[in-house]
Amino acid sequence: MKKLAGIGKMSLFASAFLWGFGFVAVDGALSSGWNPMLLLGVRGLIGGIFLHMFAFRRRYFLNRRMLKDGWLAGLYLTLAFAFQTYGQALSGASNAAFITALYVIFTPIILSVRNRKMMPKLVMFAAFVSMVGVGLISIQGDFRWQIGDVYLVLGAWMFAVHILQLEKLAHYDDALSITTIQLFTMGVVSMAFALVMNVSVPSSGYGYVVYCGLISSGIAFFLQTFGQKHVPSSTASIIMTFEAIFGVIGAMVFLHEVLSSRMLLGGLLLIGSVLVIELKPVPILLKKT
């Protein structure tokens, strides 16, 4: 069991690493002329096909209820990635990596509103600190928000909504199949939007797109699913927080993005608030009695 736990932690760290450097791949694809919806469409289809090879024997495609529930979760995932990708196109990979981590803060906030319960003081403190962090990252010298960062915040909110939707699907006990359905949903829906928008296919950037689909979506999801089977959820959440850190490192190394002292301070505040929630989780206080 200890060996499996160790392998599980390594799988989660690998997943966080691949997700983090996925911000770099997205930036490369966008810089090559890929429209965000076309990128999401191809990304979802590649990731879905990859995971389908492992989930095929489970015959998930014959379970109509699972398909319906997975499709809804896939729509939330599509919205989350769409906001995130459009936001990154306008604000950069570092901002996207930092601000996306807000979903950890938003999740208990949404729970408290939905269950009509007062937010625990810990959550309110973390939310305040995270907002200060996002402000330092996003607000320019004229005290105006970058529109790209607004999209990123909306994306983080949708990722939180998506996580809460996934909790409703826990009874299926088949994360691999659910993830496969979600990726196919994102692929089909995004491709439909790309066709309506009459988006053209660029002649370059295919390597970045393959990374986003096969590595960042397919393999990273697979490693995360495996890791979460053998590692406590609290530990898994903390490890996955490193996605933001790896994303910023990747942006600095490969995209040569420079972090100002204000942005670095904002990022540290944001990541710190996320770790406060993860190190001392509060879901029990928010569940219905």
Taking only the tens place, the pLDDT of each residue in 128-140 is 888 788 877 776 5
As given in the structure block, the two tokens for residue 96 are 């996207």
Q: Identify the pLDDT of residue 285.
A: 43
d(CA 29, CA 50): 20
Only one residue has tokens 């398909």, namely 67
Q: CA-based angle 6:11:17, to the nearest 5?
A: 130
Residue 284: which pLDDT band, with cuts at 50, 70 and 90? very low
Q: Dump pLDDT digits (tens) for 97-108.
A: 888 988 888 888
d(CA 268, CA 131): 12
pLDDT average, residue stretch 116-123: 78
Residue 17 in this model has a pLDDT that exceeds 60: yes
d(CA 117, CA 130): 21
Lowest-confidence pick of 162-171, 180-189, 206-215: 162-171
Beta carbons of 13 and 223 less than 8 angstroms apart: no
Give the residue with greater pLDDT, 220 vs 137. 220
146: number of Cβ within 10 Å: 17
